[in-house]
Amino acid sequence: MRRLGVWGSLLMLLATLGLTACASMGGDATPAPSLYKRLGGREGIAGVVDAFVANALADARIGPAFKSLPADKVGPLKTNIADFICENTGGPCSYGGRTMKDSHRGLGLEKADFDACNAALAKALDSKNVAAADKEQVMKLVASLMNDIVEKR
Ligand code: HEM
């Protein structure tokens, strides 16, 4: 067999290292599914929102604020909350509601109300068997809205 020489050997070495690096990167160009997809798409999110609103209504602290809404406002509210989550988790929806500040202005919400709402959402995500890491991402998204929602500190 012909000898490769120094440059030939160097090329072989670089080619081997390159192939090893590609293999260790998985060599898979498929992007990871978005949080939106992992939540089951718009339908999965709607299921979480249904459970969330049911939990919120049953909560002694925040239930009254939701119960005081006229019946014909509950459907659009659920749609808006689901669109909001969809849009903010990489989904193809566009949220058509008011800003978080505008929609909660005047409700006089305290940090304890916000915590009760978070608990209702966490329970809803658990009831839909959302994976722990995905649940954490949704809860982080909601936590980032606190300053716009809580009025009384
Ligand atoms: C946990 C974080 C929260 C998120 C992500 C959230 C999200 C939303 C969204 C998207 C809307 C719809 C706005 C619209 O339709 O224009 C809304 C409205 C509303 N939220 Fe929240 N909310 C949160 C916390 C709370 C809390 C703690 C309460 C306490 C009771 C509350 C009570 C309400 C009520 C009563 C409305 C309807 C307001 C109206 O249409 O007059 N929310 N919320």
Query: From first to last of its 153 residues, what are the pLDDT tens digits of the chain?
Result: 445 565 555 445 445 444 444 444 555 688 899 999 999 999 999 999 999 999 999 999 999 999 999 999 999 999 999 999 999 999 999 999 999 999 999 999 999 999 999 999 999 999 999 999 999 999 999 999 999 999 987
Question: Which tokens in the block code for residue 110?
Answer: 């305290």
Tokens 């749609």 -> residue: 79
Task: Look up the domain containing 108 and give its range.
Answer: 35-149
Pocket probe for ligand 1: among 80, 103, 107, the residue whose CB has the most ligand atoms within 8 Å is 103
Burial of 48 (0-12, 13-18, 19+ CB in 10 A): buried
Structural domains counted in the chain: 1
Q: What is the model's pTM?
A: 0.82
In a domain, 8, yes or no: no
In a domain, 25, yes or no: no
What sign does the CA torsion over 107, 111, 112, 113 have? positive
| Residue 56 CA, ligand 1 centroid: distance in Å | 11
The binding-site residues of ligand 1, defined as CB within 6 angstroms of any ligand atom, are 62, 65-66, 69, 73, 77, 80-81, 84, 97-98, 103-104, 107, 109, 113-114, 117-118, 142, 145, 149
**Domain harbouring 105, CATH code:** 1.10.490.10
Residue 58 Cα distances to 97, 108, 135, angstroms: 24, 20, 21
